[in-house]
Structure 1
Amino acid sequence: MGTLALCCTSHSPLLNLPGPSRELLDDIGSALADARRFVADYDPELVVIFSPDHYNGFFYRTMPPFCIGTAAQGVGDYGSHAGPLNVPQDIATDCARAVLESGIDVAISASMDVDHGTVQPLQNLFGDATARPVIPIFINSVATPLGPVRRVRALGAAVGTFVASLGRRVLIVGSGGLSHDPPVPTLASAPPAALERIVHGVPMTPEQRQDRQVAVMDAAQAFAHGQSRLQPLNPDWDAAFLDVIDGNRLPEVDGWSNDWIEREAGHSAHEVRTWIAAFAALAAHGRYRIEQRFYRAAPELIAGFAIRTAVLDV
């Protein structure tokens, strides 16, 4: 049997852009350095990352709830890694087969486009997104309608059962914010140009990408100074979620409704699905213990930013 370890971390394009204060960046940077040390000590032979997408790789023309990449490439948004990832095709295909056999309907992609939500944590933890073999698993966390949270936990458990059979040191990564409600377009509200992108995947021009970066920075500054209509962060909700995770109480999320998550913590709080899947993969093999705890409500990032590392409690 192999071994499992876990690192869940928030991501933010604003970490790569001008705007956040040096104090905030240093605080998060120090926590990420602790996570890097944990990962380096564990020295994984394979990484499995559960991550969302922000209409850079998955679009409404076909929006699966879950998808396993058997090959993948970063799109390079917000200065993140562009180009192929090191995906072990045979293992990723076997993983998809095992998840399907377990009763979880999952799509596969032989050419998965992934954005900063996938590659930023890999770069933060390893320095290079291609440093280790990685299986990317997309969890739709943005494009409504969304499936029930209990299915996310079931997906994670199925993946955890499979990877433990590989006889390797496997690091499970979950990538997502906690409470946050950034200006992400929706089917109901997107203007025509954005609608073409989120439905049909029409590529953004360099000028459009630059305009989006400026808009994101402006939105973050307004939010940080209390001059925004975006839904406020909810540190109390974040703390309650982290208490569930830290306390080995993961089955409690099965009763959470999507409407309740949005109402309490914002539309993009659904990215906690990546954390739920990651911890479910670990919990499939028994109780776990948390090694590192970090949380900061970060209006400058429009996010509740958290990091957890964990190992099985054996």
Structure 2
Amino acid sequence: MTLALCTLSHSPLMGANHPAEDVAAAVEGAFTAARRFIGEFDPELVLLFGPDHYNGFFYDMMPPFCLGTGANSVGDYGTATGRLPVDRDAAYALARGVLAEGIDLAYSERMHVDHGFAQPLEILFGRIDTVPVVPVFINSVAEPLGPVSRPRLLGEALGRAASGLGRRVLVIGSGGLSHDPPVPQFEGAPPEVAERLIAGRNPTPEQRLAREQRVYATGRDFAAGTATIAPLNPQWDQRLMALLAAADWAEIDSWSNEQFVEQAGHSSHEVRTWIAAYAALGAAGPYRVDTSFYHPIPEWIAGFGVTTAAPAA
């Protein structure tokens, strides 16, 4: 098979705020199954869809999508810093393929990525630099956002381009599911917060630590039932996972951006990475889900899911 898929939630609170032992064991079991699936597929390239949390992309220039022809990890929340092993030739081939289909796609020789990219690489491969990768940023927090059909169309175009590379390509979608962490909103933000959202790259270590400590504290409050952020929505999460497994794009396309926020929190838009990943796999033909795990984990402020999938034939 040319393409295979793994989607997984991420959380900066993993390793800091701890769920019950049986929940942590179940998550690790899902990761182990995903690693086994990936090991059997033996990917030659990873196409990684991820979001950003105002660490690499800001309102001074906020593209809906950006493909990294070169990329650096900023190392937030304890993830590794340094260059990702981007396959530059493959990245440009994919960019050309997408642009040739009329899909607007930004690209960057020096893309900055955060835990949304680094964490899945560390979970699935042990490090951020073990496998050639093409990272693709999908804006999931900076409003206004386009309709959810746009990341699907991007994923389909990238899937067709990836199928033409003649290599085993693992498509990863990193983010979601329902969650509403304390990510600031630009509209109505105080001037000092707005300025950080416009041009906040390279904070001091003290600024980054203060920001991360606020998120850790919110996670503890959320688990204790005292936080004011939106609740997790397991029913919404599992329905979305079922729709993706069934490739029911018409239903997913019909969901408005407002529905995402109302039903699953502001950061539920990160599932755009899952949508793009499944659409990329579907571009190569019918697929089947191999493994599927889900559990709501308040300690991580996450409806937490892990899936793997492969072509049906």
- The bucket for the TM-score relative to the shorter chain is over 0.9
Tell me if structure 1 keeps the 8 A contact 2:76–2:115: yes
Shift of residue 205, structure 1, vs aligned partner: 1.5
State the partner residue of 2:141: 142
Gaps of 5+ in 1: none
- Residue 75 of structure 2 corresponds to which residue in structure 1? 76
Q: CA-to-partner distance for each residue in 1:198-248, whole Å, 9 max, x for gaps? A: 111243211122212221111011111111110111111111101101222
Aligned partner of 2:90 in structure 1 is: 91
Q: Report how far residue 303 of structure 1 moved.
A: 0.9
Cα distance in 2 between the residues matched to 1:128 and 1:237: 32
Once the two structures are TM-superposed, the CA of residue 21 in structure 1 deviates from its matched residue by: 4.1
Partner of 1:14: 13
The whole-number CA distance in structure 2 between the counterparts of 1:61 and 1:281 is 29
Two-structure CA RMSD over aligned residues (Å): 1.2
Unmatched runs of 5 consecutive residues or more in structure 2: none
8 Å contact kept, 2:17–2:299: no
**Bigger shift: residues 152-161 or 8-17:** 8-17
Letter in 2 for 1:253: I
SS of the residue 2:164 aligns to = helix
- Could you say what secondary structure the match of 1:215 adopts? helix
- Distance in 2 between the 1:189 and 1:294 partners? 38
Residue of structure 1 in register with 2:306 after alignment: 307
Whether 1:292 and 2:298 are equivalent positions in the alignment is: no
Paired position in structure 2 for 1:163? 162
Q: State the alpha-carbon separation in 2 of the partners of residues 16 and 56 from structure 1.
A: 20
Per-residue CA distance 1:56-89 (angstroms, 9 max, x = gap) = 0000000000000000010000111200010111
Q: Structure 2 CA distance, aligned partners of 1:185 and 1:259?
A: 17
Shift of 1:189: 4.2
3-state SS in 1 of match to 2:270: helix
Distance of 2:234 and 2:243 partners within structure 1: 14
The one-letter code sitting in structure 2 at the alignment partner of 1:243 is A
**Deviation, structure 1 residue 252:** 2.1
Provide closer, same or farther for how the CA distance between residues 69 and 99 of structure 1 changes in structure 2, counting only shifts above 3 A.
same
Show the counterpart of 1:255.
Answer: 254
Say whether residues 1:53 and 2:52 are aligned partners.
yes
Question: What residue is the counterpart of 2:153 in the other structure?
Answer: 154
CA distance in 1, matches of 2:251, 2:287: 16
Letter in 2 for 1:265: A
2:101 and 2:199 map into 1 onto residues whose CA distance is 32
Letter in 1 for 2:166: G
Distance in 2 (CA, whole Å) between partners of 1:10 and 1:226 is 22
What is aligned with 2:178?
A: 179
The count of corresponding residues between Structure 1 and Structure 2 is 313
Partner Cα distance (2:221, 2:276) in 1: 33
